[in-house]
Amino acid sequence: MNRRDFIARTGLAAAGLAVAPSLAASQVASPAQKKAGRFRLKYAPSLGQFKNLAGPDIGGQIQFIADQGFTALFDNGIMGRPPADQELIVRECSRLGLALGPFVLYAEFSAKSFVKRDADTRTMLLQKMQQGIDTMARTGIKQALVVPGRYDESLAWDYQTANVIDNLRACAEACAPKGLVIVLEPLNPKNHPGLFLTKIPQAFAICRAVNSLSCKILNDIYHQQITEGNLIPNIEAAWSEIAAFHLGDNPGRWEPTSGEINYRNIFKWIHAKGYDGVLCMEHGQSKPGRDGEQAVIDAYRACDQF
C-alpha cells in the first residue's frame, strides 16, 4: 500500500461516514475491545480506520478512538470537508481531549511547482497557503502537510533547490503571522518516482535554509526506512527540524509489528526525547475487517509497552 492509495482509501472511507448522531462507540464495541489506560504517545488514527469496529458515522469514530486510549487523530482531507463536518470533528475532539494532526495542504504528485521560479507558480502557492490558514482558523490545526511536487529534468538540481527554498520562504512568511506551520514530507522514490523531496537530510537542509519556525519536517518513518534507513540516528540528526511523524511498517505499509521496523524501540526513543506531538497512523491493516482493525490496536498496545 503506497501513500497515494492510503489517501484515496481513507478519503473514500471518510466520505462515507455519516454525520448524523448514532450509537456511541461504547454501544458498538464489545467489552473485549475496550482497553484501559491512555497510550504514552499521541498515536493518531485516521477517520475511517476503525469503521468496522466503531460504526459508520464521524461521532462514533471519534468516540471509539478515544475509548481505545488514543489521544489524537488525523484527517488528511479535512481541508476539503464541508464546514459543518469540520466543526463536528473539532467539537468532538475537543470534548474528548484528542489532538488533531496535520492535514494535507498541498501534495501534487504530477506537477512541477516549488522547483520553478515564476510569478504564476508563486501566486498559486500563496493562494494555497491562504486556504491552509483559513482551514486552521476553522479547525485549530496548526500543521499543514506540503509535498513540493516533481523535480525538473531540464533544470540543474542546485537551481531547483534554490527555487524550492525561495518559494518555501515566501510561504512561511505568509503562514508565520497566523501561526500555521508547513510540514514538509519526503517520500520514497520507489513508491513515488519523480518527486523532488525524498530524504530527511535533504529536508533538513532546506528547513535550515528557509530558517522559519513555520517550515519544518514531517518524518514518515515508512518512507525513511525505504529511502535511507538508519532510522533513529537520522531522526536524531534532524530532530531540531522535525515537527510531526507518519507511521507505517515496511514492507506493505501496514501496522507496526507487521514488518521489519522495530517500532517499540523507536517509540521508546521518541518518548525519551520528550516529544509531545502527534504520530499519524498513516497505514493500512495487514488483515481485513474487524479482526484486522483490532490487530492494529493490539499492535500499538504492544509497541507502547516500553
pLDDT of residue 209: 98
Domain boundary among 191, 216, 241: 216
CB atoms within 10 A of CB 108: 16
Mean pLDDT value of segment 6-27: 42
Number of domains in the chain: 2
Residues 74 and 123 occupy one common structural domain: no
> Does the pLDDT at position 120 exceed 90?
yes
Instruction: Provide the domain limits for residue 150.
Output: 101-216
Confidence of residue 33 (pLDDT cuts 50, 70, 90): very low
pLDDT of residue 32: 37
Model pTM?
0.88
Higher-pLDDT residue of 11 and 301 is: 301
> Does the pLDDT at position 124 exceed 90?
yes
pLDDT of residue 22: 34
Q: pLDDT tens digits, residue range 272-287?
A: 999 999 999 999 999 9
Q: pLDDT tens digits, residue range 230-281?
A: 999 999 999 999 999 999 999 999 999 999 999 999 999 999 999 999 999 9
Grid cell, residue 29, equals 464495541
Residues 65 and 123 occupy one common structural domain: no
Nearest-angstrom CA–CA distance, 200 and 206:
10
Residues 79 and 6 occupy one common structural domain: yes
**Assigned domain for 287 exists:** yes
pLDDT of residue 29: 43
Residues 95 and 108 occupy one common structural domain: no
Give 291: exposed, middle or buried? Use CB within 10 Å, 0-12, 13-18, 19+: exposed
pLDDT of residue 155: 98
> Does the pLDDT at position 228 exceed 50?
yes
Confidence of residue 2 (pLDDT cuts 50, 70, 90): low
Nearest-angstrom CA–CA distance, 294 and 306:
20
Q: pLDDT tens digits, residue range 49-73?
A: 999 999 999 999 999 999 999 999 9
pLDDT of residue 169: 98
Residues 1 and 90 occupy one common structural domain: yes
Among candidates 219, 221, 218, which has minimal Cα distance to 262? Answer: 221
Higher-pLDDT residue of 17 and 251 is: 251
Residues 151 and 182 occupy one common structural domain: yes
Residues 41 and 78 occupy one common structural domain: yes
Q: pLDDT tens digits, residue range 164-215?
A: 999 999 999 999 999 999 999 999 999 999 999 999 999 999 999 999 999 9
Q: pLDDT tens digits, residue range 207-225?
A: 999 999 999 999 999 999 9
**Assigned domain for 247 exists:** no
> Chain-wide mean pLDDT for the chain?
91
Residues 195 and 129 occupy one common structural domain: yes
**Assigned domain for 86 exists:** yes
Confidence of residue 112 (pLDDT cuts 50, 70, 90): very high
**Assigned domain for 199 exists:** yes
Domain boundary among 162, 195, 216: 216
Q: Is the peptide bond before 82 cis (omega within 30 degrees of 0)?
A: no
Nearest-angstrom CA–CA distance, 240 and 207:
10
Residue 133 belongs to a domain with what CATH number?
3.20.20.150
Residues 50 and 66 occupy one common structural domain: yes
Domain boundary among 185, 216, 247: 216
- Looking at the chain, the whole-number percentage of residues with pLDDT higher than 90 is 88
**Assigned domain for 24 exists:** no
Residues 75 and 160 occupy one common structural domain: no
